Amino acid sequence: MVKVLISDKMSPKAAEIFRERGVEVDEITGMTPEELKACIGQYDGLAVRSSTKATAEIIAAADNLKVIGRAGIGVDNVDIPAATAAGVCVMNTPFGNAITTAEHAIAMMFSLSRHIPAASASTHAGKWEKSKFMGVELYGKVLGVIGCGNIGSIVADRALGLKMKVIAFDPFLSPERAIEIGVEKVELDDLLARADYISLHTPITDSTRNIINAGNIAKMKDGVRLINCARGGLVVEEDLKAALESGKVAGAALDVFQVEPATDNILFGMENVVCTPHLGASTDEAQVNVAIQVAEQMADFLLVGSVTNALNMPSVTAEEAPKLKPYMELAKQLGGFIGQVTETGIKKVHIEYEGAAAGLNIKPLTSIILQGILGPLLDTVNMVNAPVVAKERGIDVTESINDKAEDYQTLIRVTVTTQKRSRDIAGTLYGDKSPRIVNIKGISMEAQMGPHMLYVTNQDKPGFIGALGTLLGKNDINIATFHLGRNEEQGEAIALIEVDSELSPETLTEVQALPHVEQVKTLKF
């Protein structure tokens, strides 16, 4: 039975959904890393929020782990490279708390503009310092959004409703999408020079880490106000403090910090800084939403193979999964065949999707093909890490699609280039469900793969089939199916034979010794 561990506090809805779907679930929160390491090996899935640290050491101890689900957006607490190397899918829930986080950013912008936290504390203290808390309007101001993805676009929408002008820096924002959401797409230097307010909504990457630093602050307008409800590592806190003290930055509203929990920080105590303890996702609605989403995503992955919001493998929707399932089996057979017959180092893999296959979500199919090719060499490779392993080994992987297939309604062809030769294999589906191999090395044939297959290449000479059948019978090997093909009369021929049991090394040697045999391989599927 599939088993999941929920190791952080989250809405009870998550456990309910797992159990409703037939997944066994344990809720054990507050474990030390040592305790988690000791028990993680028994689970197929791990559901976390931000407290659990899924480190490389924890992942290495997770022998059965297939998926880590983060109930929220940020996955700073998950070692994604280690998970990928171990073949563990990592998912997050980027949409469950998007509105909540965007609303918090807008609330922080209001609080900063009207000194609401300080004014509230002053009034609670019995003071009436009306003139001390002179604010500024948001109306007509320029908001610069750095990172205009899901949350950033919601912030932009709310700001437009406040009659602000919104400019956005995001390398992945298309001009068409910018027009659709009503923002002006600009370069970073332009945003820094024009914005009255700057709101950060980007993940931590090599290009965004410390993006708010002394150099970029110097490019900003005097009196700019900064809002960060994304990640603490985006801001160099020492540089921001200096800018706040000099007046270059009029104020900052921060929900995230370089080190969290932030019980002490150089920005604490400054009058022009509004701070909250990472509350961006902290609403009742958001916590229920992300708990529901992570449970549904993990259950779908473990039970039906659909992949949603994965950070280290292609997505497969629940609707796509049934349609892709027979293609995945075909991809597994094509990759497995190539992987088992290839004897020298692989340089290139080219995969062609033709006909109906060209209209599919091909990324998971490519991953499965690569898994099959690399599997005979690496027993730890799977659908998650196969593309990464191929890249690490210098294998050039390319894909092409063609809406038309010459002889079949749907076809997948895999060509592998090794240090010595190129070899290709093609397959199709019969009745949209049953995989068939239809071409090997340019030789047409129709073969259905079974658990035990014998692959023989030979010269097309009289007597070979009889000699092979006699030899297998002598060794008590029963033939289930026998498929033949040749490129021309008396030319190169292929025999692909399904047998009921695996051939012994001695029998394999006898087959290799038959006249006209060039190559013999036993294949397992």
Annotated catalytic residue, options 70, 158, 225, 231: 231
Q: Map residue 293 onto helix, strand or coil.
A: helix
Compute the distance between CA of residue 25 and CA of residue 156 in angstroms, rounded to an integer: 39
21 is catalytic: no
Compute the distance between CA of residue 211 and CA of residue 216 in angstroms, rounded to an integer: 7
Give, for 302, the enclosing helix (H) or strand (E): helix 284-304
Annotated catalytic residue, options 49, 158, 201, 278: 278
Plot region of 13 (φ>0 → left; ψ -120 to 50 → alpha; else → beta): alpha
Which letter, b or e, does each residue of 329-358 get, where b requires 16 or more Cβ atoms within 10 Å of its Cβ? bbbbbbbbbbbbbbeeebeebbbbbbbbbb
465 Cβ partners below 8 Å, 6+ apart? Answer: 482, 484, 495
CA dihedral 226, 116, 260, 152 (to 10 degrees): -40
Compute the distance between CA of residue 119 and CA of residue 224 in angstroms, rounded to an integer: 21
DSSP 416-441: EEESS-EEEEEEEEETTTEEEEEEET
Q: Map residue 481 onto helix, strand or coil.
A: strand
Q: Are 472 and 499 in contact (CB under 8 A)?
A: yes
DSSP state of 212: B
What are the structure tokens assigned to 177, written together?
């999408």
231 is catalytic: yes
Compute the distance between CA of residue 413 and CA of residue 15 in angstroms, rounded to an integer: 43
260 is catalytic: yes
Compute the distance between CA of residue 452 and CA of residue 439 in angstroms, rounded to an integer: 19
Q: How far apart are the first and last CA of the chain?
A: 24
What are the structure tokens assigned to 135, written together?
């604010």
Compute the distance between CA of residue 389 and CA of residue 374 in angstroms, rounded to an integer: 8
Q: Which residues are catalytic?
A: 231, 260, 278
